Amino acid sequence: MRMRSPIPKKHARIEIIPLIDIMFFLLASFMMVSLSQTHMKGIRVNLPAPNYQPTTSPPKDYVSIRVTEGNQVYFDNKFVPDDEILPQLYNLYQANHLVKVSLSAEKTALHGNVITVLDRIRSAGIQKIGYQIKTASEPGTP
């Protein structure tokens, strides 16, 4: 005769709910780790101290030269006599060897006068020269 045990026999079962919980935990952990490994890219900025007082102004790196009718030359809208053009260009070049010059001329300025100023700019050693050119408007339009 077979006797049954007073302790009920339990069959092993695989519970899927704890397995799902573990998988979600691992997924969240891997996502957080991968997000923390991204490198933030930005621009480094050196902010001045609150009591910052500039002692000297930085050297000028840009000058606009305009030639008008009658061979009048203006540096940043300030008239410069003909005999002071070359010394001022030398001073600009000595202060900053990378100085940029923007050369423009009015319609009534003579071509030879503009070329003379251009030659003086080059003889001062300045290499970065830009030309401001405006397209000719059609007759009857401003």
Do the Cβ atoms of 132 and 95 come closer than 8 Å? no
* Within a domain: 37: no
* Within a domain: 69: yes
* Within a domain: 105: yes
* Within a domain: 79: yes
The CA distance from 106 to 66, in Å, is: 8
Helix (H, G, I), strand (E, B) or coil at 68: strand
Whether pLDDT at 138 is above 70: no
* Within a domain: 33: no
Do the Cβ atoms of 103 and 72 come closer than 8 Å? no
* Within a domain: 54: no
* Within a domain: 55: no
Do the Cβ atoms of 96 and 85 come closer than 8 Å? no
* Within a domain: 77: yes
User: What are the tens digits of pLDDT across the range 63-113?
Assistant: 999 999 888 999 988 999 989 999 999 998 998 888 999 999 988 889 899
Query: Would you place residue 27 in the very low, low, confident or very high pLDDT band (cuts 50, 70, 90)?
Result: very high
pLDDT at 52: 59
Nearest to 66 by CA among 117, 18, 116: 117
pLDDT at 115: 92
What is the tally of structural domains in the chain? 1
Nearest to 110 by CA among 70, 66, 64, 65: 70
User: What are the tens digits of pLDDT across the range 100-123?
Assistant: 999 999 888 898 999 999 999 999
**CATH code for the domain of 109:** 3.30.420.270
- Domain of residue 80, residue span: 62-131
**Which contacts (CB < 8 Å, 24+ apart) does range 132-137 have?**
132/102, 132/103, 132/104, 133/104
